[in-house]
Amino acid sequence: MGGGRIDFGILKRTQRVWLSDSNDALERLNIQHNAALFLPLSITGSHVGPRRCHTSGRTLDISFRAWVAAQRHMGFEMDPRELDDYETRVLTEVTAWWKHNRTWMEDADILRLDSPDPAVLAEQQMPQDASRFLVFAGKGATSAQISPRPLRLTGLDKTAMYEVALVNRGTAPALSRGNPALKDGPLTLSGAYLMNHGVTLPWSFPETMWVLEGHRL
C-alpha cells in the first residue's frame, strides 16, 4: 500500500507500506520526515531510484538517493546496469552499512529534530536503551545562512559522554566555511552539550545528506 491509501487499519493486513509512488529522493526526504510522526522504520519502504527519476525528471547523486533510502526499510527500484563504478561503490557501501545496522534501527524511535536551517530536514533514530543514535540531516535546498548552525539533539543522557562521528565523512566537499571538527574525526561530547548546544555539521551542497553516528561511552 502507498500514498493516500495508507491508514492504521491497513496495518492489520500488511507488514510494509509505500509512502508515495514518487521515488525522487528529494521529495521522499520531506515525505519520510512527516510520515515519521506515525510510521516506524520497520514497515516504511524506501527505494533507491534511478539516476534520473521517472516521476519528477530530476537527476540526483547516488549518495543522496542511497542515504535517503537508508533512513527507512531500504530497497532498490532501478536498473543496476546503469550504475558506473563510482555509483556501484557508493551503493555497495551504503547498503552494507544499512544491513549492519538494520536490526536495531527497525525498533528504534524516530525523533524529528528542530533544525535551525529551514533547508535541512533532520531526524534522530535511537533504540530504547539509548546506547547509541543516528542522525540523518538532509539538505533539500540552498541554505540562506552563511555558515551551518549547531544542530541540537534530543533524548540523550545529559550526564553521559558520547563518541560522535560522521559516517560519510569522506564525501565532505572541499568548499567550507570554517573548519568543523567533525571533518577531522570522531568527537567526544556530553549529552548535555549535544542537547543544549548541538553539533555543527560541515557545510554541504543542496541535495546531500550527512549521517551522524553516536555511541554512549
* CATH code at position 163: 2.60.40.1180
Is 142 found in the same domain as 94? Answer: no
The last residue of one of the domains, among 63, 81, 105, is: 105
Residues 6+ apart with CB under 8 A from 121: 29, 30, 33, 115, 137, 138, 140
Instruction: Examine the fold and report which residue of 71, 105, 139 is the final residue of a domain before the chain moves on.
Output: 105
- Which one-letter DSSP state was computed for residue 129? T
pLDDT of residue 174: 64
Predicted local distance difference test score (pLDDT) of residue 2: 53
The rounded distance, in Å, linking the Cα atoms of 47 and 56 is: 15
| Structural domain of 133 | 109-216
- The torsion defined by the Cα of 199, 48, 72 and 106, in degrees rounded to 10, comes to -110
Distance between CA atoms of residues 189 and 185, nearest Å: 13
Per-residue pLDDT for the chain (217 aa), expressed as one digit of tens each?
A: 455 668 788 888 888 898 988 889 999 999 999 999 989 999 999 999 999 998 899 999 999 999 999 999 999 999 999 999 999 999 999 999 999 999 999 999 999 999 999 999 999 999 999 999 999 999 999 999 888 899 999 999 999 999 999 999 877 666 666 677 888 889 999 999 999 999 999 888 999 999 999 999 9
Last residue of a domain, one of 105, 137, 153: 105
Q: Report pTM.
A: 0.93
The rounded distance, in Å, linking the Cα atoms of 145 and 4 is: 35
Total structural domains within the chain:
2
Q: What is the pLDDT of residue 3?
A: 59
Co-location of 80 and 162 in the same domain: no
Same-domain status, 171 and 87: no
